[in-house]
């Protein structure tokens, strides 16, 4: 309930229901340049012109309620300010935590970099030897594969030459066998012809 409602409610107790009167009294009550005693006199004199009801208690109640409302507002402002300070402190704490974490990370990274740069000569030589071994193994593997491929090609070439020789030899054998067979046939024909001649001579002698 705001101050206007408070004043309106108090004025109803002395049978006054005028919004303009309520707003006028609120203006006086809220004026921080006027002392409370002077406020009592001004408000009392104003109400005396509008009502015959006693107003001292009413005025005292209004001033007390306004003071209570001011205290509540001040407390609320202080609480709000304290909350803002607390939130700001929490944000700053989180910022510092992140900053410290980042600093530690950078320190670790710097230490790792420094350690990497401090490899001893022997460590570098050992590393180079290992790399050379891997390179030799890789080169040996490639050389072996090349040799295997070359051997396979040579074997295929020899096998092809052997098949060609066998084919040529087979053709020669066929040709030779054909010639022998033809010769044998011719010899048989010649022999048969000679036998016929001999038989014919014998027949003529008998006759």
Cβ neighbours for 31, distance < 8 A, ≥ 6 positions apart: 39
Q: Compute the distance between CA of residue 1 and CA of residue 8 in angstroms, rounded to an integer.
A: 11
Cβ neighbours for 28, distance < 8 A, ≥ 6 positions apart: 34, 39, 42, 43
Predicted confidence at residue 137, as pLDDT, reads 61
Tens of pLDDT, residue by residue over 109-152, are 888 887 777 666 677 777 778 888 767 666 666 767 777 778 88
DSSP state of 32: T
Cβ neighbours for 69, distance < 8 A, ≥ 6 positions apart: 3
Model pTM? Answer: 0.40
- 73 pLDDT higher than 70: yes
pLDDT class of 70 with cuts at 50, 70, 90:
confident
Question: What are the distances in angstroms from CA 63 to CA 16, 32, 39, 207?
Answer: 18, 12, 9, 191
Q: b vs e for 42-58, b when ≥16 Cβ sit within 10 Å of the residue's Cβ?
A: bbeeebeeeeeeebeeb
Return mean pLDDT, the chain. Answer: 84
Predicted confidence at residue 38, as pLDDT, reads 92
Predicted confidence at residue 205, as pLDDT, reads 73
Question: What are the distances in angstroms from CA 163 to CA 120, 167, 169, 172, 175?
Answer: 64, 6, 10, 14, 18
Predicted confidence at residue 120, as pLDDT, reads 66
Q: Which three-class secondary structure state does DSSP give residue 33?
A: coil
């Amino acid at each position: 309930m705001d101050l206007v409602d408070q004043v309106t409610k108090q004025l109803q107790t002395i049978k006054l229901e005028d919004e303009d009167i309520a707003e006028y009294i609120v203006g006086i009550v809220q004026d921080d340049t006027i002392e409370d005693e002077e406020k009592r006199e001004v408000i009392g004199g104003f109400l005396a012109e509008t009502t015959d009801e006693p107003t001292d208690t009413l005025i005292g109640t209004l001033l007390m309620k306004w003071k209570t409302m001011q205290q509540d507002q001040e407390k609320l402002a202080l609480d709000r300010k304290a909350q803002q300070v607390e939130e700001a402190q929490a944000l700053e704490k989180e910022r510092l935590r992140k900053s410290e974490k980042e600093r530690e990370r950078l320190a670790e990274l710097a230490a790792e970099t420094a350690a990497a740069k401090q490899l001893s000569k022997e460590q570098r030589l050992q590393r180079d030897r290992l790399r050379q071994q891997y390179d030799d193994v890789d080169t040996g593997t490639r050389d072996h594969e090349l040799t295997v491929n070359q051997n396979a090609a040579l074997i295929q070439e020899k096998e092809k030459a052997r098949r060609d020789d066998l084919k040529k030899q087979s053709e020669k054998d066929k040709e030779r066998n054909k010639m022998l067979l033809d010769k044998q046939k011719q010899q048989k024909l010649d022999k048969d012809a000679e036998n016929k001649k001999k038989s014919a001579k014998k027949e003529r002698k008998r006759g």
